Structure 1
């Protein structure tokens, strides 16, 4: 009976050191006063910019003007929680999107800035 030799190459492993929580709280916009002031005075402009940086349509947040529940803000929060594996519920997202819209956009913007870590691939030497 002949023995079969199987060689298995190691596969690259991506280890995430990110938390499953938001990096900052919903009311932590005062940690960066210039950012907070910009959101206060021009929230629609900066919401559009955040949406574009996230990879969505530039003017998508402007659709929030037409409803009592902010569907675009809520959808962005749900998407961001899913992409970054952040805990929470759609109910929480709905409440924050409806009653804390500017703070919610601030939090999402800070989260994107915090998690914008470049991926580094490490080459291994074959032996």
Structure 2
């Protein structure tokens, strides 16, 4: 798949988002699980465990490669022309996971911007109706 869109985030832009950078550096399997849940609706903990188990035999790049490919398909993104997804996930796994996390955040933000541009609708109770608050708000 060639992809028609460019990535919003660069592969080595880890320091653009310190939160993702720290998460990807100190808990790489957890970031993978979190990304996988957002990309293909897999269970976060299950994917984290899979990544950790496969990391012990240097095969954690396999599920990462499939998830990265799915992310590119979801957003019709171009692969890295220099090395492609396989080498990116093998050689630069933490950077690739951070890039994917930033990309997902970026795409979610732009989707939310478009979603909230409609008019704000405020409804008020009908005249004479009584507003009942839950017990939490009573003294």
Structure 2 partner of 1:81? 72
Inter-CA distance 69–34: structure 2 relative to 1 (3 Å threshold): closer
The C-alpha deviation readout for 1:70-113, integer Å capped at 9, x for no partner, is 11111111111111010126961000000001111111111111
**Alignment match of 1:49 (pick from 31, 34, 39):** 34
Tell me the CA shift for residue 57 of structure 1. 2.8
Give unmatched runs, 5+ long, in structure 1: 1-18, 123-127
Is the alpha carbon distance of 1:74 and 1:36 closer, same or farther for their aligned partners in structure 2, counting shifts above 3 Å?
same
How many Å apart are 1:67 and its aligned residue? Answer: 4.0
TM-score for the superposition, normalised by structure 2:
0.64
Instruction: State the match for 1:101 in structure 2.
Output: 93
Paired residues of 1:69 and 1:94 also in contact (CA < 8 A): no
Seen in structure 2, the aligned counterparts of structure 1 residues 70 and 111 have a Cα distance that, compared at 3 Å, is same
- Contact 2:17–2:102 at 8 Å: present in 1 too? no
Report how far residue 47 of structure 1 moved: 1.5
CA–CA distance in 2 between the matches of 1:30 and 1:73? 21
CA distance in 2, matches of 1:21, 1:50: 19
Displacement of 1:39 in angstroms is: 1.5
1:26 aligns with 2:26: no
Q: Which residue of 2 aligns with 1:113?
A: 105
How has the CA–CA distance of structure 1 residues 86 and 34 changed in structure 2, closer, same or farther, with 3 Å as cutoff? Answer: same
1:60 counterpart residue number = 47
Distance 1:92 1:32, change over 3 A: same
Moved over 6 A (4+): none
Q: How many residue pairs are counted as aligned between the two chains?
A: 104
